[in-house]
Structures are given as C-alpha cells and as structure tokens.
C-alpha cells in the first residue's frame, strides 16, 4: 500500500471538483491549554469534554464537520511542551482514528510555535501517517481493507517543506519495510529470501548489494556464521550493502545488523515459549537494510556500508556441538559453550569484516540478549561502545527521533569472564549477571583497533507487545530513524579517543 502525500496551502471546499482531492477527514491540532480555540464551528466544549478529550499528546476525538466531513481533534499537549515528535505521534493517531476515510488532510502547521521548524514537523507528519496506518496483512486471507489513499498537509507550499514531506514518506516506508521483514515468518523469510528481497530493493532504491552464498562465505572465512548455520538445512547468506552520496563525503559509516532469521537456540535449545518471536531475531539486519532503502531520499553526506550475516540457528544433526571451537574472520578462535549465544558469533565475523574497510565508525544493531530486556525493559535499547563521543552521537540521534536508548557500560574487568581453557575466547560467561554487558565486551574484541564503534542491543524494542499510535504489536522498525539521523548529522569521531582495551 502506498499513500500519496502532498502539501497545499488551502483546504479544498467540501464537494469541490477539479484537481483538488475530495478530502473526507480533517485532522486539527489541539493544544491542551487552548482547547476552545481549535474547536470547529458547531462543536461545543461540552460535547468534546463528554468524550473525555483533553488534548493530551496522541489523544484523538472524532467530531462531525461541515459537508459530511469528519473532523479529528488531535491532542498535542500544552503548547510550550510540544515537540516535533508530538506531531509524528498526532499524525499516527490521526491515521488510526480515520482509517475508514480515504483522503485525509492535516491542519497543524498554521498554529506551529515559532521555535519549531515547519519542515521538520512536515516530515514528522508524513512519517506519522505512514507509521500509524501500518498493518501486516500479507498472510491474512481476508484482510480488513486499508482505506487511506492520500494525506494533504496544509501549509505554505514552499520547496523546502515539500522536500521534507518526501523525506518523511521515504523514512516511513523504510520503517514499514523493517516491520514487514520482522513480522514475516522464519520459514518464509529464509536467508536466501532475505537476500533476494535486498537485491530487488537495491534496484528500486538506488544502492548496491553483493550477496555471498555459502561457497563465498567459506572462501571469506566467516567461521562464526558457518558455525551457527551448521544445524540448518537453509544456506546462509552474507550481504554487503553500499551507498555513496552525491556530494563530497564526510566519511564512511559501517552498519552491521544481526540477521538470525529464526533462533531456536540450536542444540542449546530454547524452551518453546522462548522461541515465540524468534522469527524477529533478524531485526538488526532488517533495520540496516531498511535504512539503505531511504538513503537516496535522505541523502546523508557520508558513504554507507552494510554488513549483514544471515542464517537461522537450528539444532540439526550436523549442528555445532557445545564445546566446538569456531575460527572467526579475524583469526580469533571461540569455544561455543552455549549455541544460543549465536548472535555474537555471526556479528564477530561481520564486525571484523567491517573493520577491514577502515570506516570512520561502526554501528551494530542486534536483538542480542534477553538480559538487556531484564535491565531496561521492553522498550529501551541498550547502548554500548568504545568511544564516549560517538556513543553520545548515537544517543542524541535516538533521542531526537524518540527511539529510547540508554547507555550501559563495557567493563574491562568483565573480559576475563570470557577466557577459555582451549580457545582464545568462549562465547558465554559463567553466570547470567550482566549478560548484555558481557555480550558487548565479546563484540568489542572484533572491532578493529582505533575504530569508533557503538552497539545497540534492541532485543526489547524491536518488537512491541501492545498497539500504540506509531507502532502495532509485532515488529517496530526500531533503529531505522536513529540510523538515518546519525548518518545525516555524522562527523568523523576522533580515532584517538577510542577507549583502549586493558
């Protein structure tokens, strides 16, 4: 489904003919502290109060409008607290409230506080409608049809705002793609199917992809990926994505995403209940691929490279045994003492390979540990890294996008918990305490010297367990917007400030 999004300075009259769209739902922004100002003619405060509408952010109230139109009041909270993200959320709530209507118009830019950039808000409106109207219906025999065909943003018709709306649509589409990939079952989104999808998207969206099949993965000595794949009848794939900006690049950023298309745990088999949702263990890879699909629209001033190891983690007869030792791309040997700690094994190869390209920074996204969810809950990603300034840049990008992340430490002292009797490292520690940190400490071993690196453990926020205005139960597309903003605002971090390993 696609939604046409345009910018117009005046709302077409109800029933107007000609080129104007027959708008059938108008969303009107309402500040909680100025409720009366926004009520359309004929709608009185008592009616709205009876609906318990107070103008809280994300709250909506549908009232009859002139000419058979529906008017949806969109709560924005108090005027002096409104932020760009408030508008994204309001637009998403609008799409939810008006999902039975066809042509939507949104009227908020006219009452925008001076401190907010109209273009940034217009982009957020486009994103919000794309996100709020998302549903995963690919496998429903009789899906409830989606009615929304267009959104008209009312505002000055300047080129700047128009371009922002196009960016918003592209970003919204990218997030929806990441959600689709997470929601698609593991038996259907195999590594080969993921790779084929990436090739199709590369052609459509203007980036390059190189697909390594099993033989190429063997040649490239990606021993972590091969070790995790051994128990599966599905072949692994490794994707190398690449995009270059139009102008003079400010540097190169490598994006790494965990792509476990289904995580059974392998021989260290998960209990059945813990396997539910493990089709989404490729959410990191999905976020990176989705980010690439928006690069041409967003035009960040950097070269972007993507590294996606793809396999499922299955307990077949040839599976990696507990105690087996794998040799990672960079030569490091790893004793596998729990085959369910597979993400770090495939990421080790990917981080080592990414490091060989000497990028100015690496970011990885991974649904890596249940421990991160114990620490931070279902909605907040854990953020770790080897460079305080770069970690702060990732935090700031996430914060600006309203994607919650929280810093966690990588204690040098934990490294010794990974000492193995027989290999260079083991893939798990001796107890479960600090499991998210220990996974991060493991990954750090595979980041090249002097390369600024940040790690986002998205085990919690990659999937939602409840509907909200901008997300539905299932895949959220978490990380796509953070990455796009990080790339757009990127300046190469000081390599000398990479924390040395002691």
Biggest CA pair distance of the chain: 79
CA distance 486 to 401: 10
Single residue of 24, 281, 401, 403 touching Zn ion by CB under 5 A: 281
Token reading at 178 = 């990441």
Among 370, 404, 448, 492, binds ligand BES (CB under 6 A): 370
284 backbone dihedrals φ, ψ, rounded to 5°: -65, -45
For residues 389 to 428, the per-residue mask of contacts with ligand BES, x marking binding by CB under 6 A and - elsewhere, is ---------------------------------------x
Q: Is 349 in the site for ligand BES (CB under 6 A)?
A: no
CB closer to Mn ion, 262 vs 292: 262
Q: How far apart are CA 53 and CA 56, in angstroms?
A: 8
Query: How much helix, strand and coil, in percent to the nearest 5, is found in the chain?
Result: 40, 20, 45
- Residue from 435, 469, 474, 493 touching ligand BES (CB under 6 A): that is 435
Pairwise CA distance, residues 284 & 65, whole Å: 44
CA 50, 56, 57 angle in degrees (round to 5)? 140
Quick check: 340 binds Mn ion (CB under 5 A)? yes
Tell me how many helices (H) and strands (E) the chain has. 15, 20
Task: Give the x-and-dash track for 455-474 against ligand BES (CB under 6 A).
Answer: ----x---------------
The pair phi, psi for residue 255, each rounded to 5°, is -115, 130
Q: Which secondary structure element, helix H or strand E, spans residue 488, and what is its range? A: helix 480-488
Question: Of all residues in this chain, which one has the CB nearest to ligand BES in the complex?
Answer: 370
Axis-axis angle for helices 435-444, 343-356 (nearest 10)? 30
Name the one range near ligand BES by CB under 6 A: 50-58, 126-134, 206-214, 337-345: 337-345
Question: What tokens does 415 get?
Answer: 């490294």
Complex with Zn ion: residue 224 or 343, whichever CB lies closer: 343
> Which of 77, 168, 309, 343 touches ligand BES (CB under 6 A)?
343
Catalytic residue among 279, 329, 344, 426: 344
Whose Cβ is closer to Mn ion: residue 83's or residue 340's? 340
Residue 338 CB, nearest approach to Mn ion (Å): 8
Residue 435 binds which entry of ligand BES, Zn ion, Mn ion, none, CB below 5-8 Å type-dependent: ligand BES
Task: Output DSSP code: residue 130.
Answer: H
Beta-carbon-side half-sphere exposure of residue 289 (alpha carbons within 13 Å): 34
If one counts every other C-beta atom within 10 angstroms of the C-beta of residue 274, the result is: 14
229 contributes a contact to ligand BES by CB under 6 A: no
Q: Binding to ligand BES by residue 340, rule CB under 6 A?
A: yes
Q: List the one residue from 320, 367, 386, 476 that touches ligand BES (CB under 6 A).
A: 367
Question: Per CB under 6 A, which of residues 264..323 are in contact with ligand BES?
Answer: 281
**Catalytic hit among 214, 270, 379, 415:** 270
Q: How many CB atoms lie within 10 A of CB 419?
A: 12
**Catalytic residue status for 344:** yes
Q: Which residues are catalytic?
A: 270, 344
* Residues of this chain that bind Zn ion (CB under 5 A): 260, 263, 281, 343
The site for Mn ion (CB under 5 A) is made up of 263, 340, 342
């Amino acid at each position: 489904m696609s939604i046409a999004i345009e910018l117009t300075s005046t709302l077409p009259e109800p029933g107007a003919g000609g080129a104007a769209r027959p708008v059938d739902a108008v969303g009107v922004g309402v500040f909680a502290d100025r409720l009366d100002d926004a009520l359309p003619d004929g709608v009185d405060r008592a009616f709205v109060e009876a609906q318990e509408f107070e103008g809280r952010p994300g709250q909506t109230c549908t009232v009859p409008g002139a000419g058979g139109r529906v008017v949806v009041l969109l709560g924005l909270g108090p005027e002096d607290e409104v932020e760009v993200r408030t508008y994204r959320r309001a637009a998403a709530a609008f799409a939810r409230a008006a999902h039975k209507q066809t042509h939507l118009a949104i009227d908020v830019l006219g009452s925008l506080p001076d401190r907010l950039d109209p273009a940034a808000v217009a982009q957020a409106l486009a994103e919000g409608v794309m996100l709020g109207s998302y549903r995963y219906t690919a496998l429903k025999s009789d899906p409830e049809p989606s009615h929304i065909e267009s959104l008209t943003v009312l505002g000055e018709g300047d080129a700047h705002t128009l371009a922002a709306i196009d960016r918003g649509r592209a970003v919204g589409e990218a997030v929806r793609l990441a959600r689709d990939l997470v929601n698609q079952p593991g038996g259907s989104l195999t590594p080969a199917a993921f790779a084929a999808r990436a090739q199709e998207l590369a052609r459509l969206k203007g980036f390059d992809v190189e697909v390594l099949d099993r033989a190429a993965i063997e040649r490239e000595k990606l021993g972590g990926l091969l070790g995790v794949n051994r128990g599966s009848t599905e072949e692994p794939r490794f994707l190398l994505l690449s995009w270059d900006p139009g102008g003079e690049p400010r540097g190169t950023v490598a994006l790494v995403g965990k792509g476990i298309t289904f995580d059974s745990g392998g021989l260290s088999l998960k209990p059945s209940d813990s396997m539910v949702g493990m089709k989404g263990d490729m959410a990191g890879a999905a976020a990176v691929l989705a980010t690439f699909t928006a690069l041409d629209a967003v035009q960040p001033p950097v070269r972007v490279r993507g590294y996606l190891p793809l396999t499922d983690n299955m307990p077949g007869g040839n599976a990696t045994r507990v105690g087996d030792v794998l040799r990672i791309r960079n030569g490091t040997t790893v004793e596998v003492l729990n085959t369910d700690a597979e993400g770090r094994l495939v990421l080790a190869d990917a981080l080592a390979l990414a490091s060989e390209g000497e990028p100015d920074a690496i970011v990885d996204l991974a649904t890596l540990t249940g421990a991160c969810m114990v620490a931070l809950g279902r909605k907040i990603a854990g953020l770790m890294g080897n460079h305080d300034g770069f970690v702060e840049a990732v935090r700031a990008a996430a914060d600006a996008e309203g994607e919650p992340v929280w810093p966690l430490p990588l204690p040098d002292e934990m490294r010794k918990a990974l000492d193995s009797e027989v290999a260079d490292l083991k893939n798990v520690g001796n107890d479960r305490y600090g499991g998210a940190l220990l996974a991060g400490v493991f990954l750090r071993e595979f980041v090249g010297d002097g390369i600024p690196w940040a790690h986002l453990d998205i085990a919690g926020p990659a999937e939602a367990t409840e509907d909200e205005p901008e997300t539905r139960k299932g895949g959220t597309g978490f990380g796509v917007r953070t990455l796009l903003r990080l790339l757009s605002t990127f300046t190469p971090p000081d390599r000398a400030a990479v924390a040395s390993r002691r």
